[in-house]
Amino acid sequence: MKISKYLPLSIVATFFVPIVGFFLSVAAISKKGMNRAPFILISFFYFCFLIKIPPYGDSYRRFLDYQSFTSATHVLDFLSGHPDIFFYLTIVIFKTLYIPYFIMPAAYGALMIYFVLASLRNGTIIADVEMSGKKKIIAYLLILSAFDIINFALGLRFGLSIAMAVYGITTYYSGAKKKGLAAMIVAITVHFSMAFVLMCFFASKFIKLNKKSVIPLSILTFLISSTALPFILNQFSFLSVAQYALSGYVESGWADASTNLNTLGVFLVRNLLQFGVLILFLMDRKKYPQIDNFLCLFIPATFLMSLSFSAVQRYLVVCNIILLSRTLPSYYDVMFKKKFILLFFAGYIILAGLVLDIYVQRIAIIWGQLWKGYYTSPVTLLYYTDQDFKNYLKDVGSDGNWTKNTQGVGG
């Protein structure tokens, strides 16, 4: 196996100037092979970057789950009643091995990044192309920019379930069917909502659609969502799925979208890439029948969730990463020939970095001083104790928000 000349440099740089090591690791991704070494290095960069992420929002609620398991807790009692058993099993393992909580968001985040990178690699196998040079770097930076890592690391469960489900789909269609199916099943144990992805996967085995049907079907499912979704969910009442989904996404405060300009602006930026990549997918004359058929079914099915703003947004992320994994390799040859495609991709990387990664996540970044992860050696970053983490807890409100932010600091 040929080793990239950038790989040794990226290893050294990662331990001195992490952001330089990150870019060298992306450059070290070879046009052939599984690229596990550079993927692990990039994931390690994100692990160190996220190690000091504060217990903000969902992360604080996950910390309370972590704290709820004590030496007096019976393991089976703790695990029962949770469809997302993977996370709670992780808590049991961490507590048994005396691993502090702050390792968990960083470890989950690193795993997410690995699976996202591997999904794009799977896309090159499906399309049978070899990506190299500047186009390769843009492709990998683009798929990373489409994955809001700080947001998903704070939430832990859903981000990892997305990454694993996408990895499972792309792995299956790249030829490793058993591994892909196993990943999809594990994704359900991480977050039960990924059962929807698996159902669409099995349905695509029997339902054959083409690209011309995607837009009309998406409009139709959007229009019937308010009546069709509750009806479908109630058919699974014997598994308690209906109540779990209805209470969590349809009848809760997460169902409705905020109408303020700030939220709408972020919504547009978040979905701009997907809209552009969807157009490229529909216009693409190259055909990869199995994954294309899955996408032609899954995209309209996603809009069936439009009754819940939170649910449809989450499944659109799954659509987006799969679309990128499928479409970027297909357009690899023309990326620099058609400048509007190159400008769109490069522009989105910058826009997503400014809006989604910095502006939207500014509280977590300021509170945890996460920018230091770009230039601080991992040796220094990892010299971090449970007591350091507990200092965060002095400034956490009961709702998981940063108390200093309510006083106008950093907000």
Instruction: List pLDDT tens digits, range 81-140.
Output: 777 899 999 999 999 999 999 999 999 999 999 999 999 999 999 998 888 778 888 899
AA letter at 1? M
The band of 404, judged by pLDDT with boundaries at 50, 70 and 90, is: confident
For 59, 70, 292, 293, 302, the CA distances from 297, given in Å and listed in that order, are 33, 45, 9, 6, 9
Longest dimension (CA), the chain: 64
Between 305 and 231, residue with greater pLDDT: 305
For 113, 169, 217, the CA distances from 210, given in Å and listed in that order, are 31, 18, 11
Q: Are the beta carbons of 54 and 80 closer than 8 angstroms?
A: no
Mean pLDDT, rounded, for 321-341: 84
pLDDT of residue 242: 52
Mean pLDDT, rounded, for 304-316: 83
Mean pLDDT, rounded, for 221-243: 68
pLDDT of residue 410: 43
Cβ atoms < 10 Å from Cβ of 244 = 15
Dump pLDDT digits (tens) for 168-200: 999 999 999 999 999 999 999 999 889 899 999
Question: Which sign does the torsion angle of CA 67, 70, 76, 81 carry?
Answer: negative
For 34, 39, 125, 178, 291, the CA distances from 175, given in Å and listed in that order, are 13, 20, 9, 9, 11
Q: Are the beta carbons of 57 and 154 closer than 8 angstroms?
A: yes
Q: Is 63 in a helix, a strand, or coil?
A: helix
Cα 308 from Cα 229, distance rounded (Å): 10
Mean pLDDT, rounded, for 140-153: 92
Give the distance from CA 229 to its chain's centroid: 24
Cα 8 from Cα 182, distance rounded (Å): 33
Cα 201 from Cα 298, distance rounded (Å): 8
For 207, the enclosing helix (H) or strand (E) is none
Cα 196 from Cα 20, distance rounded (Å): 39
Q: What is the CA radius of gyration of the chain?
A: 21
Q: What are phi and psi of 391, to 5 degrees?
A: -65, -30
pLDDT of residue 406: 52
Give me the chain's average pLDDT, please: 86
Cα 104 from Cα 87, distance rounded (Å): 10
Q: Are the beta carbons of 400 and 60 closer than 8 angstroms?
A: yes
The band of 243, judged by pLDDT with boundaries at 50, 70 and 90, is: low
Q: Phi-psi category of 410—alpha, beta or left, where left has phi over 0 and alpha has psi -120 to 50?
A: left
Cα 27 from Cα 14, distance rounded (Å): 13
Q: Which residue's structure tokens are 């009643």?
A: 81
Q: Are the beta carbons of 301 and 221 closer than 8 angstroms?
A: yes
Q: Are the beta carbons of 117 and 36 closer than 8 angstroms?
A: no
